[in-house]
Amino acid sequence: MTRSLVSGRAARSAVPNGDSGPDEDTGYLTIARVTGPHGIHGEVRCAILTDFPDRFRTTRQVFLGDRKTPRSVERWRLVRGAVILKLSDVETRADAERLQGSHLFVPLDDAVRLDADSYFWYQIIGLDVRTVDGEALGKVVDILETGSNDVYVVRSADGQVLIPAIHEVVRSIDVDAGVMTVRLLDGLR
């Protein structure tokens, strides 16, 4: 899930609200989605939507569903690529079944801290992309995961450009200014 470059590593972790960016009104990041009940004692099985599954070791509270209902995490464990959670006020299998499809959130302030040249996807998507010569290429609209590095999908009025997330191409990322500067290699247009 985490890949990419030296000068702008993108981490999918804590991808907010349907992979679209942080919930500007509420300031939460999505870390998991309830896929169903687990057992008969109110545990839920969740798809992990973070590059940092160990975050559940220290996460004491999550916010559940669209209403962001606070729930304490009573216990957790990783099982075959999923996380099993026991949340407060979820006592039976029927309680757990009602949560199926719900997302689990944490506040933006509780996001895992990334290394200095690393970014969450929501910070990359929406950046204006310019060449080192100042030519505007468009905006990052998506990120494709590949075997070796991420690829930023940049859309403009003329179509789209696929930018490999490697240091030779992505020269700088300024999240505060909303700009990614790239040096296009031959054949990238």
Residue 189: the pLDDT is 65
Question: For 46-92, how does the pLDDT look when each residue is reduced to its tens digit (9 = 90+)?
Answer: 999 888 898 999 999 999 999 999 999 999 999 999 999 999 999 99
Question: For 168-179, how does the pLDDT look when each residue is reduced to its tens digit (9 = 90+)?
Answer: 999 999 999 999
Greater confidence, 182 or 20? 182
Q: Please tell me whether residues 43 and 97 are part of one structural domain.
A: yes
Q: Of 55, 77, 110, which residue sits at a domain end? A: 110
CA dihedral 17, 21, 22, 24 (to 10 degrees): -100
| 2 inside domain | no
Residue 26: the pLDDT is 58
DSSP annotation of 124 reads: H
> Residue type for 126, please?
G
What average pLDDT does the structure give for the chain? 85
Q: What is the mean pLDDT of residues 141-153?
A: 90
Instruction: Write out the E strands in the chain.
Output: 9-11, 28-38, 43-48, 61-64, 69-79, 82-87, 103-107, 118-120, 128-131, 136-144, 151-156, 159-164, 170-174, 179-182
What is the DSSP secondary-structure string of 74-118? Answer: EEEEEETTEEEEEETT--SHHHHHHTTT-EEEEEGGGSPPPPTTE
Q: Please tell me whether residues 33 and 82 are part of one structural domain.
A: yes
Q: What is the mean pLDDT of residues 162-168?
A: 92
Range of 158's domain? 125-182
How many structural domains are present in the chain?
2
CATH of the domain at 175: 2.30.30.240
Residue 136: the pLDDT is 94
| 57 inside domain | yes
Q: Please tell me whether residues 85 and 131 are part of one structural domain.
A: no
